[in-house]
Amino acid sequence: MILRWKLERTASRHDRQEASGGASKQADDAKAAASAVTVSAIAASYDDQIRPLLDAVDRLRHLKVTQEGIQLPTIVVVGDQSSGKSSVLESLAGISLPRGQGICTRVPLVMRLQDDPSADAPKLQLEYSNGVVVATTEAKVADAINTATAQIAGSGKGISDAPITLVVRKKGVPELTLVDLPGITRVPVQGQPEDIYDQVSNIIKQYIAPKESIILNVLSATVDFPTCESIRMSQQVDRTGERTLAVVTKADKAPEGLLEKVTMDDVNIGLGYVCVRNRVGDETYDQARVEEERLFKYHPLLSKIDKSMVGIPVLAQRLMQIQASIIAKCLPDIVKQINDRLSRSSAELDQMPQDPNNVADAVRVFFRIVKQVCASTEKVLVRGEFDEYPDNRDFHGTARVAEMLAEYAKKLPAQCPRSANELFLMEEVRILEETKGINLPNFLPRSAFLVMLKKKVETIDQVPQELANGVWAYVEDLVMKILMKYSDNFPQVQSSCRRAVQGLMDKARARSAQHVKELIEMELVADYTANPDYMKTWTEFMDGYDKFMEAVEVASKPARITLQGFGEVDVSHLRVHADLAGKAFDLRARLTAYWKSVVLRLMDGLALHVLLSVKRLVEKIWRRSWGTKCWAISSPGWRGC
Ligand code: GDP
Ligand code: MG
C-alpha cells in the first residue's frame, strides 16, 4: 500500500535525522507522528473500501466477463518498444520482469498487485490458458513468464492476445491492477511476423478502446513525444486525453528540456505527466527509489519539476486514485450489465431442451404443453385476443377467418347466375318443354323449378368447399405454429403432439367436407324457406306479369319493355312460345326471389359451422390429449422414459 509505503519512508528519514541529533527535530517528530496517524487512517480506509471493489473486479476478470462484452475498468500500459513499460511495472511491484532488447512482452500481462503486510517474502502466482496456475518466486518470475508466453504465443517472436495474469502479493505494494501490452514496433525484426505492427496495434486497440480503460502511456524522455506511435494510437481512441496519463521514463538519460516537455503538453495528456527513473543495471529496487528521489531532488534541471509530477511513489498514488474513481464510476453500470446478461441467459436457459427423465415428468410436460397450446389457440382463434402476438398478423386468427368469410361472401353471387348471351327466359322455356306433363296447363311443374335450382346451385357448389379448405389449411398451420412454440424445449414430445394435432385436423377437415356436402344437398332436397322476403320479392316481380304477357301476346305492342327486377328486356323471341312464356316468367320470378335465401343459408350456415368447428377443435385438442398421452409418452422420442 503506497500510503503506508510513503509513511515508512517518511519514518526512516526521520530516523536518519534523529541520528544527526538536534532539539529542534523533536517538534518535527511530533508532527511526523501526527501525520503518521492520519496517513495510516487513510490507508486503513482505503484498504476497507477499495480493496473489496478491486477484488470484485478481479473476480469478474477471472470469470471472463469481457468475453461477454462487459468492459472492466482497467489501467492499460502502452508505449513504444523499449520505452520502459515493463520497467515501470517492475518499479511499482518491486520485482523483476523479463526485460531486454526487441519485443519481450508478447502477450498481455495482467499484473495484480496486492499489499500483504503479513508476507515476509513476496508471493507470486501466474495464471494463464484457462486455469493453469503456477506459483513462482521473485527470482524465477521472469523465466515463468517467458515459459507461459512460449506456451501461449509459441517460442518464436509471435504474439497473442490471450493474457497471462501475474498476482504479486507483497508487503507495501500499491493495490493496483495493470495490463502490460506488447510494445509497438514499426519494422519487424528478424523472426517477427511481417504483420507484427498490425497484430500489436490490434491488441492494443482492443484494450484501450473501451471507455472504461485508463491509458497509461509510457514515453521515454529520450524521444520526441509527438513522434511516439503510442501517442498516435491513444489519441485515436481518446482524442481529448481525458483518460490518458503519461509516465515519462529515463528521466536520468535525457534531463534536458524535460520540464518544458511535460509543462507544454504538446500531446494532450488529460490526466497529467509523472516523470520517473526506473531501476538501472543491477540496482535493487530500494536503491533505485533512493536514486530516483535523489535525482529529482538535486539534479539542476530535474529538481525544477514539481514534486507532484515526479517519482514512482507519486505515480503509484495517482494510479490508485484514478483506479478508485473509475471503479466507482463503472461499477453500477457493470452490475446492471451483468444483471441484464443474467436475465437474458436465464431466459435462454429456459429455452434449452429439457430432458424429462421419468414417466411422471414426461406426463407433466406433455399436459403443460397441451394446456398452453389450447389456451393460446382459444385466444387467437375463438376469443380474438392477440396480446401474445401483437405484431404477427398470421396469429390474429379470428380476423383472418373473418377475412376468409368476407371473401367467400363475395364469391357467392347475390343474383342467380345466368349465362351472358342467353335470350330472356329461353332457359326456362327449354326446361318447361322438357318437364311437360299430362296435367292442367296453368300448373307450374315443381320438377321444372327443382331442375332449374339444381343447375344454378351446381354452378357455385365448389365455393363453400373452397372456403372450408382454406379455413382448415390456415387453422392447421396456426395450431402447428403455436404447438411448435410451446413444445420448442421438448423435441421429445414434438412429433407426438404434431401427430395428435394432425389427426384431429384431418378429422375436423373431413367433418367440414361432409357438412358442406350436406349444405348443398339440403338446397336440392326441397324448395323451402320461411323467409318472408321470398314472397315479397316474388310479388314484386309478378307485378310486371301482365305487362310482360301483353308484350308477348300482342304483336302490335313493342317487344322491348322494362320490367321490375329484370330491367329492359326483349320478348320478341318468346312470341312463338306464348304457351310457356307465362310459366317461364313465373319460374324466373320464383327462382330469383328464392336465390337470395339459398345464398343466405350457404353463407350463414357455413360461417357458423366454421366457428363451431374451430371451437370444438380447441376443446378436442385438450380432451384428446388424455387419450394421446399414453402413446405420446411411450413413443421412442421419449428418452429415459
Ligand atoms: P519495454 O519494452 O517498454 O517493456 O521497455 P523495458 O522496460 O524493457 O525497457 C527498455 C530498456 O530501457 C531497458 O534496458 C531498461 O533497463 C531501460 N530503462 C527503462 N526505464 C529506464 C529508466 O528510467 N532509466 C534508464 N536509464 N533506463 C531505463
Ligand atoms: Mg516490455
pLDDT tens profile 273-282:
999 999 998 8
Q: Is 79 in the pocket of ligand 1 (CB under 6 A)?
A: yes
Question: Which whole number is the average pLDDT over 551-565?
Answer: 93
Q: Residue 465's pLDDT is what?
A: 93
Residue 49 has φ and ψ, to the nearest 5°, of -95, -40
CB 373 within 8 A of CB 479: yes
Model confidence at 22, pLDDT cuts 50, 70, 90, reads very low
55, pLDDT greater than 60: yes
Q: Any idea which ligand is nearest the CA of 88?
A: 1
Distance from Cα 182 to the centre of ligand 2, integer Å? 6
Are 257 and 406 members of one domain?
no
Q: Best-predicted range by mean pLDDT among 152-161, 215-224, 328-337?
A: 215-224
Q: Is 280 in the pocket of ligand 1 (CB under 6 A)?
A: yes
130, pLDDT greater than 80: no
**Distance in angstroms (rounded) separating the CA atoms of residues 124 and 113:** 10
Question: Which whole number is the average pLDDT over 488-492?
Answer: 76
Q: Is 185 in the pocket of ligand 1 (CB under 6 A)?
A: no
315, pLDDT greater than 90: yes
Model confidence at 20, pLDDT cuts 50, 70, 90, reads very low
Based on the structure, what is the number of domains in the chain?
2
Q: Residue 104's pLDDT is what?
A: 63
Question: Which whole number is the average pLDDT over 432-456?
Answer: 88
Nearest atom within ligand 1 for CA of residue 80:
3
- Evaluate whether residue 637 is within a structural domain: no
Q: Residue 13's pLDDT is what?
A: 39
CB 106 within 8 A of CB 158: yes
3-class secondary-structure state, position 168: strand
501, pLDDT greater than 60: yes
- Evaluate whether residue 537 is within a structural domain: yes
Model confidence at 1, pLDDT cuts 50, 70, 90, reads very low
Question: Which whole number is the average pLDDT over 32-60?
Answer: 65
Using the 3D structure, point to which of 310, 340, 370 is the last residue of a domain: 340
pLDDT digits (tens, 9 = 90+) for 449-481: 999 999 999 999 999 999 999 999 999 999 999
Q: Is 83 in the pocket of ligand 1 (CB under 6 A)?
A: yes
Nearest atom within ligand 1 for CA of residue 251:
23
Are 469 and 611 members of one domain?
yes
36, pLDDT greater than 60: no
- Evaluate whether residue 41 is within a structural domain: no
Query: What value does the mean pLDDT of the chain take?
Result: 84
Q: Residue 156's pLDDT is what?
A: 77
Q: Is 252 in the pocket of ligand 1 (CB under 6 A)?
A: yes
Question: Which whole number is the average pLDDT over 169-186?
Answer: 86
The closest of 319, 214, 224, 213 to 267, measured between CA atoms, is 224
**Distance in angstroms (rounded) separating the CA atoms of residues 433 and 574:** 13
Residues 6+ apart with CB under 8 A from 186: 197, 229
Are 150 and 193 members of one domain?
yes
The closest of 297, 220, 227, 287 to 253, measured between CA atoms, is 220
Candidate from 92, 99, 230 with most ligand 1 atoms within 8 A of CB, to mutate: 99
- Evaluate whether residue 617 is within a structural domain: yes
Are 185 and 312 members of one domain?
yes
Are 469 and 521 members of one domain?
yes
Candidate from 82, 279, 302 with most ligand 1 atoms within 8 A of CB, to mutate: 82
CB 531 within 8 A of CB 510: no
Helix-helix angle 24-62:2-19, to 10 degrees: 160
3-class secondary-structure state, position 581: helix
- Evaluate whether residue 157 is within a structural domain: yes
- Evaluate whether residue 269 is within a structural domain: yes
Q: Residue 226's pLDDT is what?
A: 92
**Distance in angstroms (rounded) separating the CA atoms of residues 559 and 544:** 14
Model confidence at 120, pLDDT cuts 50, 70, 90, reads confident
Model confidence at 219, pLDDT cuts 50, 70, 90, reads very high
Q: Is 613 in the pocket of ligand 1 (CB under 6 A)?
A: no
Nearest atom within ligand 1 for CA of residue 98:
8
Are 401 and 326 members of one domain?
no
Q: Residue 621's pLDDT is what?
A: 77
Q: Any idea which ligand is nearest the CA of 184?
A: 1
Q: Report the Cα 135 to chain-centroid distance in Å.
A: 41
Nearest atom within ligand 1 for CA of residue 278:
23
Are 415 and 279 members of one domain?
no
Q: What letter does residue 416 receive in the DSSP assignment?
A: P
30 or 127, greater pLDDT? 127
Of the ranges 116-125, 126-135, 336-345, 490-499, which one carries the lowest mean pLDDT score?
490-499
- Evaluate whether residue 202 is within a structural domain: yes
**Pairing assessment for the beta strands 560-563 and 567-570 based on DSSP bridges:** antiparallel
Of the ranges 7-21, 222-236, 362-376, 608-622, which one carries the lowest mean pLDDT score?
7-21
Q: Any idea which ligand is nearest the CA of 109?
A: 2
Are 334 and 366 members of one domain?
no
- Residue type (1 letter), 196: I
Are 390 and 498 members of one domain?
yes
CATH code of 620's domain: 1.20.120.1240
- Evaluate whether residue 22 is within a structural domain: no
Q: Where does residue 322 fall: left (phi above 0), alpha (psi -120 to 50 degrees), or beta otherwise?
A: alpha
Q: Residue 121's pLDDT is what?
A: 85
Q: Residue 535's pLDDT is what?
A: 95
Q: Residue 7's pLDDT is what?
A: 34
CATH code of 332's domain: 3.40.50.300
Distance from Cα 589 to the centre of ligand 2, integer Å? 106
**Distance in angstroms (rounded) separating the CA atoms of residues 396 and 123:** 67
Are 407 and 288 members of one domain?
no
Q: Residue 42's pLDDT is what?
A: 53
pTM assigned to the model: 0.54
565, pLDDT greater than 80: yes
Q: Is 183 in the pocket of ligand 1 (CB under 6 A)?
A: yes
User: 10 Å Cβ neighbour count for 205?
Assistant: 14
518, pLDDT greater than 90: yes
Q: Where does residue 237 fall: left (phi above 0), alpha (psi -120 to 50 degrees), or beta otherwise?
A: alpha
Using the 3D structure, point to which of 308, 340, 372 is the last residue of a domain: 340
Q: Residue 489's pLDDT is what?
A: 76
pLDDT digits (tens, 9 = 90+) for 407-421: 999 999 988 988 888
Q: Any idea which ligand is nearest the CA of 218?
A: 1
443 or 217, greater pLDDT? 217
**Distance in angstroms (rounded) separating the CA atoms of residues 547 and 581:** 12
**Domain span at residue 236?**
73-340
Using the 3D structure, point to which of 340, 368, 387 is the last residue of a domain: 340
Are 277 and 400 members of one domain?
no
Q: Residue 306's pLDDT is what?
A: 94
Nearest atom within ligand 1 for CA of residue 90:
7
pLDDT digits (tens, 9 = 90+) for 585-608: 999 999 999 999 999 999 999 999
**Distance in angstroms (rounded) separating the CA atoms of residues 172 and 118:** 10
Are 111 and 228 members of one domain?
yes
pLDDT digits (tens, 9 = 90+) for 356-395: 677 777 777 778 888 888 889 999 998 999 888 888 999 9
